């Protein structure tokens, strides 16, 4: 990839739309635009000022392509830190293709996927983790995912890692000074003091690592199985949550016999809901297979909602459901049909079930709130904190944490060994920010991008 040529691409999805945007980046952006654009007002096109919007006509050799708005952004005040321009056309695929072709004829080259963002990274406007935030934001499938991506793009994780880096650099300077000048009257901090700095770095790393417990749900979605004995309202709950009559609901126990999956967004998270067959003893053959699948789904789901029926007394089947729920990674107990006469005697004081009436639509918001809470509790995060959502970051952070641990363990053996651990941790930080990278890593990250970003 060359950085000295000017790239162009359609930045909006191809299809009918109010507007379609083409962007340009590189040394000759202004010249290329000027060849094709005639402003409506009297000023000459070679006097386009930076960061001003101009209305006019885009033309090729055969005539006018479209009425457009053009903005030129002079380096370094642009996304890529290069001379850049954006042309807003009408959102017609035919117009956009012709406009792009015209800019290419005038000297631009077609951009590769992610090339604008790659230039922003290579030109030092953003670090590698922020570039990853850009692609995550574009691909976010839920509000929560978009929020986490935005924080990453803004440099939320980079700033957290910078605090760790400062502690490591300080510790390393102390370690190296005592290694380099062992006999001199050069007072460095004691081992205990240095370990304290490293402990603080460890605390930071651990809270980032814990945040992945929630972050993975934001990025990859969450599997949520609904279990309960027959006729408690599992299918009714699934339908209510997705606002669609997906699963069959009847008054007959044993209606659902197989797993029913539905993708949706709950409490800002991408969620796959799984409705299951009612759990009970001595089922007939088909039901037995369904029950086996239900138990398997509960076991592999990220979270389990167990439903109980307020209008019936506690029985052996409920007992089996409760036992299954207790084994779940994230358990949520719910008593449904609270609109009916209450007969259920809840047996376990250590679990507080949420009240619900799917029929009357009461308690659904409470359930959503509780899903949100258990997810953020899982990662021990607050709304303001950035969360780790990418496995590349998780792997790097794990290695940083273990390098710091090694530096602490080896302090007693010798400061050289300890320093080596800190050096390794700092190297990992460089991989995170992209201060050190390989072509393989770059293409892995930027290949995920679409053209025009």
Ligand X SMILES: Nc1nc2c(ncn2[C@@H]2O[C@H](COP(=O)(O)OP(=O)(O)OP(=O)(O)O)[C@@H](O)[C@H]2O)c(=O)[nH]1
CB-nearer residue toward ligand X: 308 or 432? 308
260, 290 Cβ separation under 8 angstroms: no
Nearest residue to the partner ligand X, using Cβ? 278
Return the number of the residue (81 or 257) whose C-beta is nearest ligand X: 257
CB of 303 to ligand X, least distance (A): 18
Which residues, 6 or more positions from 169, have their beta carbon under 8 angstroms from its beta carbon? 426
Q: Which does 336 bind (CB under 5 to 8 A by kind): Mg ion, ligand X, none?
A: ligand X
Asked if 236 touches Mg ion (CB under 5 A), the answer is no
Locate 346 and state its tokens: 């809840």
Question: CA 310, CA 62: separation in Å to the nearest integer?
Answer: 75
Question: Does position 235 bind Mg ion by CB under 5 A?
Answer: yes
What is the contact mask toward ligand X in residues 173 to 212, using x (rule: CB under 6 A)?
----------------------------------------
Q: Kindly state the smallest distance separating residue 368's Cβ from ligand X, in Å.
A: 16
CB of 307 to Mg ion, least distance (A): 10
Asked if 80 interacts with Mg ion (CB under 5 A), we say no
Rg of the chain over Cα atoms, rounded to whole angstroms, equals: 29
What's phi and psi for 282, nearest 5 deg? Answer: 40, 55
Establish if 443 lies at the interface with ligand X (CB under 6 A).
no
CB of 306 to ligand X, least distance (A): 11
Among the candidate windows 35-43, 54-62, 204-212, 248-256, which touches ligand X by CB under 6 A?
248-256
To 10 degrees, the CA torsion angle through 359, 365, 371, 373?
Answer: -150
Q: Which stretch binds Mg ion (CB under 5 A): 102-110, 146-154, 253-261, 437-445?
A: 253-261
Closest distance between ligand X and the C-beta of residue 337, in Å?
A: 4
Residue 92: which of ligand X, Mg ion, none does it interact with, CB under 5 to 8 A by kind?
none
Which entry of ligand X, Mg ion, none binds 251, CB below 5 to 8 A by partner kind?
Answer: ligand X
Cα–Cα distance, 102 to 80 (Å, whole number): 22
CB of 242 to ligand X, least distance (A): 13
269-275 and 260-266 as β-strands: parallel, antiparallel, unpaired? Answer: antiparallel
17 binds, among ligand X, Mg ion, none (CB under 5 to 8 A by kind): none
358 binds, among ligand X, Mg ion, none (CB under 5 to 8 A by kind): ligand X
Q: Which does 405 bind (CB under 5 to 8 A by kind): ligand X, Mg ion, none?
A: none
Give buried/exposed letters for 278-297 (b at 16+ CB in 10 A, else e).
bbbeebeeebeebbebbbeb
* Positions 334 through 373 that interact with ligand X (CB under 6 A): 336-337, 339-340, 357-359
434 binds, among Mg ion, ligand X, none (CB under 5 to 8 A by kind): none
| Nearest to 403, CA basis, from 238, 168, 209 | 168
Size of the site for ligand X (CB under 6 A): 23
Q: Exactly one of 158, 231, 264, 433 binds ligand X (CB under 6 A); which one? A: 231
Verify cis geometry, omega within 30 degrees of 0, for the bond prior to 76: yes
Q: Which of residues 256, 264, 338, 418 is near Mg ion by CB under 5 A?
A: 256
CA distance 259 to 159: 44
- 8 A C-beta contact, residue 224 and residue 371: yes
Structural contact between residues 450 and 140, judged by C-beta atoms closer than 8 angstroms: no
Q: Does 324 participate in binding ligand X (rule CB under 6 A)?
A: no
Strands (E), 234-311: 260-266, 269-275, 303-309
CB 79 within 8 Å of CB 25: yes
264-323 residues near ligand X, rule: CB under 6 A? 278
Stretch that binds Mg ion, among 5-13, 77-85, 227-235, 386-394 (CB under 5 A): 227-235
Instruction: For residue 221, state whether it binds ligand X (rule: CB under 6 A).
Output: no
Q: Which does 236 bind (CB under 5 to 8 A by kind): Mg ion, ligand X, none?
A: ligand X
For residues 214 and 65, what is the distance between their CA atoms, to the nearest angstrom?
Answer: 49
Q: Does 232 bind ligand X (CB under 6 A)?
A: yes
Least distance to ligand X, CB of residue 270, Å: 23
Give the single-character DSSP code of 353.
P
Among 62, 251, 350, 384, the residue binding ligand X under the rule CB under 6 A is 251
DSSP string for residues in 14-54:
SSSEEEEEEEEESTTHHHHHHHHEEESSSS-GGGPPBT-EE
Q: Which of 249, 271, 388, 422 binds ligand X (CB under 6 A)?
A: 249
Quote the tokens at residue 341. Answer: 């006469």
CB atoms within 10 A of CB 408: 21
Phi-psi region of 361 (alpha: psi -120 to 50; beta: other; left: phi over 0): left
Binding site for ligand X (CB under 6 A): 228, 230-236, 249-251, 253-256, 278, 336-337, 339-340, 357-359
Binding site for Mg ion (CB under 5 A): 234-235, 255-256
């Amino acid at each position: 990839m060359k950085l000295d040529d000017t790239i162009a691409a359609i930045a909006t999805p191809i299809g009918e739309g109010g507007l379609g945007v083409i962007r340009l980046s590189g040394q000759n952006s202004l010249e290329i635009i000027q060849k094709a654009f005639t402003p409506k007002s009297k000023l000459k096109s070679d006097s386009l000022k930076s960061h001003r919007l101009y209305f006019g006509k885009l033309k090729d050799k055969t005539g006018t392509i479209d009425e457009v708005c053009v903005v030129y952004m002079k380096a370094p005040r642009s996304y890529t830190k290069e001379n850049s321009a954006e042309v807003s056309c009408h959102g017609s695929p035919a117009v956009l293709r012709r406009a792009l072709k015209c800019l290419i004829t005038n000297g631009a080259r077609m951009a590769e996927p992610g090339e604008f963002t790659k230039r922003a990274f290579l030109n030092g406007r953003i670090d590698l983790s922020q570039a990853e935030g850009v692609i995550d934001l574009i691909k976010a499938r839920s509000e929560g995912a978009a929020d986490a991506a935005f924080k990453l793009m803004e440099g939320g994780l980079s700033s957290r890692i910078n605090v760790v880096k400062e502690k490591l650099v300080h510790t390393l300077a102390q370690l190296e000074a005592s290694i380099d000048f062992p006999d001199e009257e050069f007072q460095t901090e004691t081992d205990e003091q240095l370990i304290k700095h490293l402990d603080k770095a460890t605390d930071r790393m651990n809270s980032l690592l814990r945040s992945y417990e929630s972050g993975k749900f934001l990025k990859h979605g969450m599997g949520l199985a609904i279990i309960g004995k027959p006729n408690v309202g599992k299918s009714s709950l699934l339908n209510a949550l997705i606002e669609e009559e997906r699963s069959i609901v009847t008054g007959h126990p044993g209606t659902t016999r197989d797993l029913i999956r539905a993708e949706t967004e709950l409490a800002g998270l991408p969620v796959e809901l799984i409705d299951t067959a009612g759990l009970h003893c001595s089922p007939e053959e088909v039901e037995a297979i369904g029950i086996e699948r239900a138990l398997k789904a509960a076991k592999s789901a990220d979270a389990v909602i167990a439903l109980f029926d307020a209008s019936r007394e506690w029985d052996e089947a409920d007992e089996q459901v409760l036992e299954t729920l207790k084994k779940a990674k994230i358990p949520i107990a719910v008593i449904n049909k609270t609109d009916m006469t209450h007969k259920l005697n809840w047996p376990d004081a250590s679990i507080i079930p949420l009240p619900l009436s799917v029929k009357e639509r009461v308690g659904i918001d409470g359930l959503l709130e509780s899903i949100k809470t258990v997810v953020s509790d899982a990662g021990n995060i607050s709304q303001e904190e950035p969360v780790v959502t990418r496995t590349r970051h998780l792997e790097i952070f794990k290695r940083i944490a273990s390098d710091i641990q090694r530096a602490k363990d080896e302090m007693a053996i010798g400061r050289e060994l300890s320093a080596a651990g800190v050096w390794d941790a700092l190297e990992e930080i460089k991989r995170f920010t992209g201060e050190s990278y390989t072509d393989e890593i770059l293409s892995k990250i930027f290949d995920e991008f679409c053209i025009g970003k």
